[in-house]
């Protein structure tokens, strides 16, 4: 056994863990995997002689990767994991290999801290019951019947007494039961959604096809860290572009792992100040007449006064704003430098380089847009990108990467799964949000007067104070939230751990009558809930088709039978439906098996000429009979048995194939003949639709062109006296990165991953030393809303004045001191209302000092949350 594993195992032998473990051995038919590492190796060897089978096992969490994960099952026990070996690996046709998290999946599925039984908070009773004990009450094991009866009765009571609007939640079942209030906003892509949609006309904007990235001479990656947050193939694909000759420039407040592996140049920029940097670059380009004027004139509106969209004030053009013609403030590189911290010489060189190197890919991730009034960054980024004319051509592109795994892909979807056949279930209280819409991307039409929802950052205040901001000019509206329905239906929750201001969140959680969750572990939301229903993981369910990048789909299989008393969400919904007087067959008219079959039957692959889609899977009468489903035989490229056995289908690529695509090529060649779906038919540097849509949300306003306005809690706010540069109460800017240990909060409980990625607080060495810190010291980090302690890692990789903490650690709050020792970033980030409801995490300010209490023990040595 490796030292690493040994260490990771040791602490599991704590008494509590051991007890949980023996319980598992006696009550479960299935022996959790990691137990085998404790078992004599001869036993394992003997097991190997039994029937063994590799199955494709889901890796279902929200990192975006969707890599191939395989589990070796012997006698119902998973004894090993591996990743994609369905074909030889090559840069053109790479394997879909999983990461350290995917390969730790079995430690999660079979962890000693898996939820085993339905349970109830000891003092909860319908309507409340010592609500202040949420998060610290005892848990009582209850039967499924009792749990379902309690949940159904309470749901009925709340609906009848207070109405559907007193429930916040999204689930298929609720949609059939009158619906519920939705939380809306943007937790993931920050402010990107609306600017992208209104300025480019497309809800989602892709880059050119992956293989075309190798034609780029320069690739700018603005605020993105693919080596950490796009596991799977993106970094590998980017490396191919580098090998083919592309130069990489990263703009980031840290020398991230991606900077170390890919960058030729690193441009430091303070968080939330990117707009200033971009404006400084625009100034240099305009001053030296380096912008692609032909492209701007033909394909955009709003750059200068001669090319304004209809009805706009000519004075509101971008060029004159940059030059300071009307406001008297030229946005020179020197002006920018004071704000963003980048040397003016570096700004000029960078601007020169992007303006003169063609073709260039100019791409950004989401992090810089997860800032207060983040729209301004998106506006400035697109505008400066368009000033270089790098659109619609090989090796070029100006775009945000649309979710992690798509980074480095772009182009057409080459293979895709079909629908499950489950009919849509519309939430009557929020008709725009269909069932299954992912929480993190909810920016539906804000002018819909029938939509009843609360912005993420206003939810806790709404619960505590009884009013919220309704969109479309409805202003403040009273509300009386009684129930939180955190019963998962395929998406995350964005509560407590994952949404701004955990401390306020806990207060809000302690106000409502009841909180119901289903979960696989006692995650933060479940810890503070009343009734927790144990759910099967995806390893214990009928398979599904997963897609990540556009070239491959993964077809998973059931790996093991449900552990302990875990049940599927669908089973729970059906059982609850019966108790609520609903018809389960109406909610789920088809079985899970049929749903998988439908997605396989509906799977499509692109034709070799890249023009059409044809069925992927061949299905025979015999298959239909064997599966016991409804269906029709069809002809495809691969048999049903084969695709399930293979577990993945990937379209082979070669540089000469016809499957590539240059995004927006036709438009750029002839914009008049091929207008894009914006109001003007062109890219809108000046965009009235953006102004109006943001105004409709009713939170903050935005100018029609990119302007820098100091964000709330940005760099400027770290000073008490900006002019004399005197620092204030919270002198540091905090960035909350996506971290290697986890996919958000998921996997944070896995000790092996805890050890591999300690939850350190990163800070510039000189900053730390000035405060008297030594590397590894436990430090106290404090914001206006909370306190955290963590070991400090002093490093040259952080920009001075900027500190970093990985988001997603499971909060461990000591209520006496108000200190969270786990280092959950949302213990520190205040909830603020901005633009389209984007959570402005990366504009947060903090102070740091030496912690006077006991130094922290490494968290992989902490006790796990084992209940029964």
Q: Residue 70: which of 837, 79, 62 has the closest Cα?
A: 79
Strands 531-534, 787-795: pairing is: unpaired
**Which is closer to Mo ion, CB of 188 or CB of 825?**
188
Q: By CB under 6 A, name the one of 17, 47, 52, 62 that touches ligand MGD.
A: 62
Pick one of ligand MGD, Mo ion, none as the site partner of residue 498 (Cβ within 5 to 8 A by kind).
ligand MGD
**DSSP annotation string for 476-489:** EEE----EEEE--S
**Which is closer to ligand MGD, CB of 444 or CB of 570?**
570
Question: Is 63 near ligand MGD (CB under 6 A)?
Answer: yes
Whole-angstrom distance, CA of residue 782 vs CA of residue 503: 13
Binding to ligand MGD (CB under 6 A): which residues in 184-223?
A: 187-188, 222-223
Pick one of Mo ion, ligand MGD, none as the site partner of residue 841 (Cβ within 5 to 8 A by kind).
ligand MGD
Binding to ligand MGD (CB under 6 A): which residues in 691-750?
A: 735-740, 742-746
Q: By CB under 6 A, name the one of 694, 702, 811, 829 that touches ligand MGD.
A: 829
Return the HEC string of 356-374.
HCCCEEEEECCHHHCCCCC
Q: What angle do CA 276, 407, 303 make, to 5 degrees?
A: 35
Whole-angstrom distance, CA of residue 805 vs CA of residue 792: 10
Instruction: Give the interface size with ligand MGD as a residue count (CB under 6 A).
Output: 62
Whole-angstrom distance, CA of residue 754 vs CA of residue 746: 12
Q: By CB under 6 A, name the one of 164, 365, 595, 752 that touches ligand MGD.
A: 365
Provide, rounded to whole angstroms, the least separation between the CB of residue 253 and ligand MGD. 5
**Which is closer to ligand MGD, CB of 303 or CB of 362?**
362
Q: Residue 197: which of 693, 548, 675 has the closest Cα?
A: 693
Pick one of ligand MGD, Mo ion, none as the site partner of residue 738 (Cβ within 5 to 8 A by kind).
ligand MGD
Pick one of Mo ion, ligand MGD, none as the site partner of residue 792 (Cβ within 5 to 8 A by kind).
none
Pick one of ligand MGD, Mo ion, none as the site partner of residue 64 (Cβ within 5 to 8 A by kind).
ligand MGD
**Which is closer to ligand MGD, CB of 271 or CB of 837?**
271
Whole-angstrom distance, CA of residue 83 vs CA of residue 98: 6
Question: Is 380 near ligand MGD (CB under 6 A)?
Answer: no
Q: Which residues contact 246 (CB under 8 A, 6 or more apart)?
A: 213, 214, 216, 217, 218, 219, 361
**Which is closer to ligand MGD, CB of 680 or CB of 842?**
842
Question: Is 460 near ligand MGD (CB under 6 A)?
Answer: no
Question: Is 241 near ligand MGD (CB under 6 A)?
Answer: no
Provide, rounded to whole angstroms, the least separation between the CB of residue 442 and ligand MGD. 11
Report yes or no: 842 and 829 within 8 Å, Cβ to Cβ.
no
Pick one of Mo ion, ligand MGD, none as the site partner of residue 525 (Cβ within 5 to 8 A by kind).
ligand MGD
**Which is closer to ligand MGD, CB of 268 or CB of 602?**
268
The number of CA neighbours under 13 Å toward the Cβ of 237 is 29
**DSSP annotation string for 517-579:** EEESB--HHHHT-SEEEEB--GGGS---EEE-STTEEEE----SPPPTT-B-HHHHHHHHHHH
Question: Is 592 near ligand MGD (CB under 6 A)?
Answer: no
Pick one of ligand MGD, Mo ion, none as the site partner of residue 224 (Cβ within 5 to 8 A by kind).
ligand MGD
Q: Residue 436: which of 420, 452, 447, 458 has the closest Cα?
A: 420
Residue 228 has φ and ψ, to the nearest 5°, of -105, -40
Provide, rounded to whole angstroms, the least separation between the CB of residue 441 and Mo ion. 8
Q: By CB under 6 A, name the one of 81, 166, 171, 256 that touches ligand MGD.
A: 256
Pick one of ligand MGD, Mo ion, none as the site partner of residue 493 (Cβ within 5 to 8 A by kind).
ligand MGD
Provide, rounded to whole angstroms, the least separation between the CB of residue 664 and ligand MGD. 23
Report yes or no: 686 and 190 within 8 Å, Cβ to Cβ.
no
**Which is closer to Mo ion, CB of 117 or CB of 205?**
205
Provide, rounded to whole angstroms, the least separation between the CB of residue 291 and Mo ion. 33
**Which is closer to Mo ion, CB of 807 or CB of 812?**
807
Provide, rounded to whole angstroms, the least separation between the CB of residue 427 and Mo ion. 22
Question: Is 498 near ligand MGD (CB under 6 A)?
Answer: yes
Q: Which residue is nearest to ligand MGD (CB)?
A: 492
Q: Assign 64 to helix, strand or coil.
A: coil
Q: By CB under 6 A, name the one of 368, 453, 660, 840 that touches ligand MGD.
A: 368
**Which is closer to Mo ion, CB of 188 or CB of 371?**
188
Question: Is 367 near ligand MGD (CB under 6 A)?
Answer: yes
Provide, rounded to whole angstroms, the least separation between the CB of residue 598 and ligand MGD. 21
Q: Could you tell me the two tokens for 472?
A: 């479309």
Q: Which residues contact 364 (CB under 8 A, 6 or more apart)?
A: 221, 222, 223, 224, 381, 400, 401
Question: Is 781 near ligand MGD (CB under 6 A)?
Answer: no
Provide, rounded to whole angstroms, the least separation between the CB of residue 203 and Mo ion. 16
Q: Could you tell me the two tokens for 260?
A: 């170390």
The number of CA neighbours under 13 Å toward the Cβ of 539 is 28
Largest Cα separation within the chain, whole Å, is: 81
Q: Residue 587: which of 464, 732, 741, 424 has the closest Cα?
A: 424
Provide, rounded to whole angstroms, the least separation between the CB of residue 603 and ligand MGD. 23
Provide, rounded to whole angstroms, the least separation between the CB of residue 722 and ligand MGD. 19
**Which is closer to Mo ion, CB of 188 or CB of 254?**
188
Q: Could you tell me the two tokens for 808?
A: 């997603």
Report yes or no: 681 and 202 within 8 Å, Cβ to Cβ.
no
Pick one of ligand MGD, Mo ion, none as the site partner of residue 179 (Cβ within 5 to 8 A by kind).
none
Question: Is 137 near ligand MGD (CB under 6 A)?
Answer: no
Provide, rounded to whole angstroms, the least separation between the CB of residue 746 and ligand MGD. 5
Q: Could you tell me the two tokens for 534?
A: 């144990």
**Which is closer to ligand MGD, CB of 252 or CB of 570?**
252
Binding region for Mo ion (CB under 5 A):
188, 440
**Which is closer to Mo ion, CB of 404 or CB of 462?**
404
Q: By CB under 6 A, name the one of 318, 335, 366, 667 that touches ligand MGD.
A: 366
Report yes or no: 436 and 187 within 8 Å, Cβ to Cβ.
no
Binding to ligand MGD (CB under 6 A): which residues in 522-581?
A: 523, 525, 535, 537-538, 569
Report yes or no: 369 and 191 within 8 Å, Cβ to Cβ.
yes
Report yes or no: 180 and 169 within 8 Å, Cβ to Cβ.
yes
Binding to ligand MGD (CB under 6 A): which residues in 32-61?
A: 61
**DSSP annotation string for 619-660:** B-HHHHHHHT-----B--SEEHHHHHHH-EEE----TTSS--
Question: Is 845 near ligand MGD (CB under 6 A)?
Answer: no
Q: By CB under 6 A, name the one of 520, 532, 789, 819 that touches ligand MGD.
A: 520
Question: Is 767 near ligand MGD (CB under 6 A)?
Answer: no
Length of the chain: 868
Beta-bridge partners for 781: 788, 848
**Which is closer to ligand MGD, CB of 81 or CB of 498?**
498
Q: Assign 109 to helix, strand or coil.
A: helix
**DSSP annotation string for 574-601:** HHHHHHHT--HHHH--S-HHHHHHHHHH
Pick one of ligand MGD, Mo ion, none as the site partner of residue 534 (Cβ within 5 to 8 A by kind).
none
Residues at the contact surface with ligand MGD, assessed by CB under 6 A: 61-64, 187-188, 222-225, 228-229, 251-254, 256, 269, 271-272, 274, 365-368, 370-371, 404, 440, 488, 492-494, 498, 518-521, 523, 525, 535, 537-538, 569, 735-740, 742-746, 807-808, 825-826, 829, 841-842
């Amino acid at each position: 056994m490796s030292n690493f594993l040994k260490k990771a195992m040791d602490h599991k032998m704590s008494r509590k863990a051991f007890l949980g473990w023996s319980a598992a051995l006696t009550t479960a038919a299935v022996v959790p995997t990691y137990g085998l590492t404790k078992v004599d190796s001869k036993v394992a060897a003997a097991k190997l002689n039994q029937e063994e089978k590799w199955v494709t096992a889901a890796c279902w969490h929200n990192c975006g990767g969707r890599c191939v994960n395989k589990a070796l099952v012997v006698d119902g026990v998973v004894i090993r994991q591996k990743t994609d070996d369905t074909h030889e690996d090559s840069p053109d046709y790479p394997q879909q290999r999983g990461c350290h998290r995917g390969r730790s999946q079995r430690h999660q599925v079979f962890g000693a801290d898996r939820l085993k039984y339905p349970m109830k908070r000891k003092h909860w009773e319908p309507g409340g019951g010592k609500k202040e004990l949420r998060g610290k009450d005892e848990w009582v094991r209850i039967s499924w019947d009792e749990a379902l009866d309690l949940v159904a009765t309470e749901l009925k009571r709340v609906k009848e007494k207070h109405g559907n609007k007193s429930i916040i939640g999204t689930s298929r079942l609720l949609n059939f039961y009158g619906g519920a209030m939705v939380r809306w906003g943007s937790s993931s892509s920050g402010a990107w959604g609306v600017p992208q949609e209104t300025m480019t006309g497309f809800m989602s904007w892709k880059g050119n096809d992956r293989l075309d990235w190798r034609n780029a001479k320069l690739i700018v990656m603005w605020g993105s860290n693919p080596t950490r947050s796009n596991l799977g193939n993106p970094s590998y694909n980017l490396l191919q572009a580098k090998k083919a000759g592309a130069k990489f420039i990263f703009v980031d407040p840290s020398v991230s792992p991606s900077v170390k592996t890919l960058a030729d140049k690193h441009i430091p920029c303070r968080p939330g100040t990117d707009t200033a940097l971009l404006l400084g670059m625009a100034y240099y380009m305009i001053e030296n007449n380096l912008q692609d004027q032909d492209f701007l004139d033909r394909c955009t509106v709003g750059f200068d006064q001669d090319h304004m969209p209809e009805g706009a004030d000519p004075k509101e053009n971008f060029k004159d704003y940059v030059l300071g013609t009307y406001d008297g403030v030229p946005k020179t590189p020197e002006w920018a430098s004071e704000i963003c911290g980048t040397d003016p010489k570096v700004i000029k060189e960078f601007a020169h380089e992007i303006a003169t190197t063609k073709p260039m890919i100019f791409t950004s991730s989401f992090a810089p847009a997860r800032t207060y009034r983040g729209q301004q960054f998106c506006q400035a980024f697109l505008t400066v990108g368009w000033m270089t004319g790098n659109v619609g051509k090989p090796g070029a592109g100006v775009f945000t990467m649309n979710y992690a795994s798509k980074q480095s892909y772009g182009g057409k979807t080459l293979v895709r799964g079909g629908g499950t056949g489950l009919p849509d279930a519309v939430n009557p209280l929020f008709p725009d949000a269909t069932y299954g819409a992912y929480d993190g991307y909810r920016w539906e039409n804000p002018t819909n007067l029938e939509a009843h929802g609360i912005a993420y950052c206003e939810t806790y205040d709404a619960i505590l104070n009884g009013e919220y901001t309704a969109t479309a000019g409805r202003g403040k509206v009273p509300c009386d939230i009684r129930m939180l329905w955190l019963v998962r239906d395929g998406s995350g929750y964005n509560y407590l751990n994952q949404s701004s201001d955990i401390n306020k969140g806990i207060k809000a959680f302690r106000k409502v009558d009841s909180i119901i969750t289903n979960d696989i572990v006692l995650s933060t939301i479940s810890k503070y809930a009343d009734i927790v229903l144990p759910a099967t993981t995806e390893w214990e369910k009928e398979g599904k088709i997963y897609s990540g990048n556009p070239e491959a789909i993964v077809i998973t299989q059931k790996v093991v039978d449900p552990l302990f008393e875990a049940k599927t969400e669908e089973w729970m919904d059906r059982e609850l439906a019966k108790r609520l007087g609903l018809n389960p067959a109406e909610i789920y008219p088809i079985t899970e098996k049929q749903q998988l079959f439908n997605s396989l039957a509906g799977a499509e692959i692109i034709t070799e000429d890249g023009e059409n889609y044809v069925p992927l899977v061949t299905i025979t009468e015999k298959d239909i009979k064997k599966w016991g489903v409804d269906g029709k035989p069809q002809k495809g490229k691969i048999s049903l048995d084969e695709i399930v056995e293979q577990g993945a289908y990937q379209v082979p690529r070669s540089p000469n194939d016809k499957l590539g695509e240059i995004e927006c090529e036709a438009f750029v060649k002839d914009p008049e003949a091929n207008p894009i779906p914006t109001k003007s038919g062109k890219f809108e540097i000046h965009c009235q639709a953006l102004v109006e849509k943001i105004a409709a949300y009713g939170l903050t306003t935005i100018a029609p062109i990119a302007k820098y306005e100091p964000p709330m809690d940005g760099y400027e706010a770290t000073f008490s006296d900006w002019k004399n540069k005197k620092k204030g109460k919270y002198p540091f800017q905090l960035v909350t990165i996506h971290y290697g240990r986890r996919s958000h909060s998921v996997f944070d409980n896995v000790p092996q991953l805890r050890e591999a990625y300690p939850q350190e607080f990163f800070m510039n060495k000189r900053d730390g030393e000035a405060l008297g810190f030594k590397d590894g010291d436990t430090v106290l980090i404090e914001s206006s809303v909370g306190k955290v302690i963590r070991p400090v890692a002093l490093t040259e990789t952080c920009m001075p004045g900027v500190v970093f903490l990985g988001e997603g650690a499971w909060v461990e709050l000591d209520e006496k001191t108000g200190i969270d020792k786990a280092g959950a970033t949302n213990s520190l980030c205040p909830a603020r209302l901005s633009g389209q409801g984007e959570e402005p995490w990366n504009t947060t300010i903090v102070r740091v000092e030496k912690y006077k209490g006991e130094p922290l023990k490494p968290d992989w040595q902490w006790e796990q949350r084992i209940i029964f």
